[in-house]
Amino acid sequence: MNVLDLFFGDLAAFLSQAIIVVIVALMFVISLRLFLDRRKKAYMSMTISLIFVGIQYLSHLYFKINDMETSLTDYILNMLNIISFVLINMGIYQLYNRTNRKQYIFFYGLIVMGFVVSMLHFIVPQLYDGNPHQVRLLQAIGFDLYVFVLIFICFYAIPPYISQQFKYQLALTIYFTYQSVRLVNIYIYDHAQHVLTFAENLLPIIFYFLLFMLLFDRVVELMQAIYNSSITDGLTRLYNRKFFYNRVTQHVQRHLPVYVLFSDIDNFKKLNDTQGHQMGDNVLKQVAQIMKDEAEECGIAGRYGGEEMVVLVSDPSVKMDTFAERIRSRIEKETIVTASIGYSKYKNGLSAEELIKQADEAMYRAKTTGKNKVVKFS
């Protein structure tokens, strides 16, 4: 075996397709697992598209090994290429968007057009009676040009609706380059240019690797979103009660000198009754943003329940009376409500529950002694 075959010969093409099959198999496992866990159309479409890609490359390997490269096998491989390309791009679109009838018509219409273009495969032999090799090349020209059309359509139509725009467009650019190199190598040099042959074998690997990374990044995004939704409040985006309590517990168990601030929006029920729940939600978001801003560099902020919001201050250099007063003042100036605030400092022997309760009791004293004030637990 010539060493050059590893880069330019039939063995290079075989290795390229084998590597792609492995990448596609990994994508298939990820996509199938997501579909079985979440039962979403996006993962079903991606899984089906990867099945077609796998069939395409396995068929190519099978035809190559068994020396079955004929006009019919060319047609099968070209149609599989178009179907798999459209479906995998539809799957990528669906990873980020719900698909309605209009989008299904668009993507399946592209496949139907592929079948229309494929008619040229059967018309060419009737119109041109020449060298069988030239006839096979002419039969494939319609498929090759249509793939360019698909690349341009996907390049401009899909990126605005997905978050991994650069990576997706880079993948399509690689695929466009691959198609260009392939056509030049076939129609002009008849596979005689080693550099073009090497690029023709390498570029599809890069294309499917980028698609794998795009799918992997989307999985990471979903996992992060699921995790964030499990620890944050849906309305205010502050940490939820369970997460906040666990963080306080962690600090208390390590006997760290932390503070817990407990706040309650004054007359919040009256606000809901007179101005509606939408106004109430807006006020909660405004107060939550103030809490988040102030706690960003010294601790964490959470929503404890209803209109009650809390802050765990873990920075021992913070002057708590000044910190609490700044929050109270900002709420009064920047929103249409005021807040009663209490806070307590950890002392040895206290549990997390007791520390939070002390801050709550301090807030209650602020509430019952005039509201819109800060009270320290004592």
Task: For residue range 79-97, list pLDDT tens digits in order.
Answer: 999 999 999 999 899 888 8
Say if residue 286's pLDDT is above 70: yes
Q: Do 8 and 88 sit in the same domain of this protein?
A: yes
What range does the domain containing 262 cover? Answer: 241-376
Whether 5 contacts 12, CB under 8 Å: yes
User: What does the alpha-carbon distance between residue 245 and residue 257 come to, in Å, rounded to a whole number?
Assistant: 16
Q: Residue 236 falls within a domain, yes or no?
A: no
Q: Residue 142 falls within a domain, yes or no?
A: yes
Q: How far is the CA of 116 from the CAs of 105, 112, 148, in angstroms?
A: 16, 6, 16
Q: How confident is the model at residue 129 (pLDDT cuts 50, 70, 90)?
A: low
Query: What is the average pLDDT score of the chain?
Result: 88
- Total tally of structural domains belonging to the chain: 2
Domain CATH for 284? 3.30.70.270
Q: Do 40 and 152 sit in the same domain of this protein?
A: yes
Q: How far is the CA of 36 from the CAs of 28, 33, 42, 50, in angstroms?
A: 12, 5, 12, 15
Q: Which of 202, 231, 260 is at the close of a domain?
A: 231
User: What does the alpha-carbon distance between residue 223 and residue 177 come to, in Å, rounded to a whole number?
Assistant: 33
Question: Strand, helix or coil at 264?
Answer: strand
Region 141-147: mean pLDDT is: 88
Task: State if pTM tops 0.75.
Answer: no
What's CA 119's distance to the chain center, in Å?
38
The highest-confidence range among 60-64, 75-79, 134-138, 345-349, by mean pLDDT, is 345-349
Going by C-alpha positions, the residue among 327, 322, 326, 364 that lies closest to residue 342 is 364
Q: Residue 368 falls within a domain, yes or no?
A: yes
Say if residue 368's pLDDT is above 80: yes
Q: Do 192 and 117 sit in the same domain of this protein?
A: yes
Q: Do 192 and 309 sit in the same domain of this protein?
A: no
Say if residue 131's pLDDT is above 90: no
Q: Do 348 and 269 sit in the same domain of this protein?
A: yes
Q: Which of 231, 253, 286 is at the close of a domain?
A: 231
Q: Do 201 and 252 sit in the same domain of this protein?
A: no
Region 121-133: mean pLDDT is: 69
Going by C-alpha positions, the residue among 142, 39, 146, 36 that lies closest to residue 86 is 146
Domain CATH for 99? 1.20.1070
Q: Do 211 and 344 sit in the same domain of this protein?
A: no
Say if residue 211's pLDDT is above 70: yes
pLDDT attached to residue 1: 47
Q: Which of 203, 231, 259 is at the close of a domain?
A: 231
Q: Do 76 and 197 sit in the same domain of this protein?
A: yes
pLDDT: is 186 or 287 the higher one? 287
Say if residue 65's pLDDT is above 60: yes
Q: Residue 274 falls within a domain, yes or no?
A: yes
Q: Do 169 and 252 sit in the same domain of this protein?
A: no
State the DSSP string of 328-359. HHHHHHHSS--EEEEEEE--TT--HHHHHHHH
The highest-confidence range among 73-82, 112-121, 327-336, by mean pLDDT, is 327-336
Q: Residue 51 falls within a domain, yes or no?
A: yes
Q: Residue 344 falls within a domain, yes or no?
A: yes
Q: Do 290 and 216 sit in the same domain of this protein?
A: no
Region 124-133: mean pLDDT is: 66
Q: Do 208 and 249 sit in the same domain of this protein?
A: no
Segment 216-250, tens digit of pLDDT: 888 888 888 888 888 998 899 999 999 999 999 99
Q: Do 223 and 299 sit in the same domain of this protein?
A: no
